[in-house]
Every structure is written in C-alpha cells, then in structure tokens.
Amino acid sequence: MNLHVIKGANVYLEGKSRLGQASKVTLPNVTQTMTEFKGLGMIGVINLPLGLDKIEASLEWQGPYADAKILLADPHTVRTLMLFGSIDVYGATGRIDERPVVAEVRCMGAEEQGGEYAMQENTSFESKLNVLFYELKMEGKQIVKVDLVNMIYEVGGVDQLKGYKANLSI
C-alpha cells in the first residue's frame, strides 16, 4: 500500500510566482445540478444530473499584496491562476516517489476582502473568484476539465458532453 501526501504548493497569478504570499488556495468543486426522478413502479427516488452548478474558488493571502488584489478585484477581466504542487508517495521503505499536481483556473473577481487589522498581527485577505475554466491534473493524469464558456466537460480525458453536443448539432 502506498500513501500519498501533498507536501507543498506554489501559486502563479498571471504568470507571476506568488511563492510564500498565499497561505491557502481552495480549488473549485465541480458540483452537479441534479433533478429528483420518481416514477410509477420504482421502489425509490433517484437524483439525475442535469449539468453543472456555478464554479467558485478562493485564495487566501498571507499579507497585503496590492498588485494581486487589483488583478483579482476586477469582475470583468479573466485572470489565470496556476497551482503547482508536489505529492510525496510513501511505501513501507519510506518515500518512493514525488509526483506533480497541476491546477489551472481562469477566473474573474467575485469578492475582495479588506481584511482585519490588529496591533502587531499580520493580516490575511481572501479573494473569492468566479471560475470559467478549471483543469486539475494529478500524477500527469487529467482528473477533471471544465470550460463553461466553450461547453467542455471532461473526466479522466473522456468527454462527458459528447452525445449532448451531437444532439444539439454543436
């Protein structure tokens, strides 16, 4: 049995490294919009997927970085956020491998916090983001890719909308 541990990560905003500036990144949750289905003769109720819900992400800053806050406060311009992480893989003999985690998020600002100020304490700020595009890869494998504008939804490299797009002649 192998154990996987995310050791650390670095964030890039618009291609600029933010090493040590961000304390936490919350990547998007890809959530299905569901409809309840119940029919005569069924012994229960099931939920069936209809599409995706809105996608959001957030970034917590370890201090005041005006240039980043200006970029992410703009609700009309799409920004690119990249996360690069490292997974340590441990086995019975210790660490046996190091593998990459890569996430790309294209987003627009949704909420920019002013922060709390207290004497002799660092202030953290959170940037909340509306996500238009999200792709997550672990160990070189695509986990999920969503592009809400261009009708792309892939899981493990498989197009989840292939039949739907064909039916709509897209």
Output the pLDDT for position 102. Answer: 97
In a domain, 125, yes or no: yes
In a domain, 19, yes or no: yes
Amino acid at 75: P
Name the more confident of 44 and 64: 44
Domain ranges, residue 23: 3-34+47-132
In a domain, 75, yes or no: yes
Can you give the three-state secondary structure of 62-90, one letter per residue? Answer: CCCCHHHHHHHHCCCCCEEEEEEEEEEEE
The predicted model gives 150-161 an average pLDDT of: 97
The whole-angstrom distance between residue 167's C-alpha and the CA centroid of its chain comes to 29
Per DSSP, the three-state class of 41 is coil
Residues 57-80: tens digit of each pLDDT:
999 998 889 999 999 999 999 999
Output the pLDDT for position 15. Answer: 95
In a domain, 42, yes or no: no
DSSP conformation class of 135: E
How long, in residues, is the chain? 170
Task: Kindly state the helix (H) or strand (E) to which residue 165 belongs, with its residue range.
Answer: helix 162-167
Output the pLDDT for position 43. Answer: 93
Number of structural domains in the chain = 1
Residues 2-20: tens digit of each pLDDT:
999 998 999 999 999 999 9
Separation between Cα atoms, residue 161 and residue 8, nearest integer Å: 34
Phi, psi of 114 (to 5 degrees): -80, -25
Q: Report the sign of the C-alpha dihedral through residues 80, 75, 154, 33, in that order.
A: positive
In a domain, 82, yes or no: yes
Per DSSP, the three-state class of 92 is coil
In a domain, 13, yes or no: yes
Residues 95-148: tens digit of each pLDDT:
999 999 999 999 999 998 887 888 888 888 899 999 999 999 999 999 999 999
Output the pLDDT for position 122. Answer: 83
- Across-strand partners of 12? 17, 82
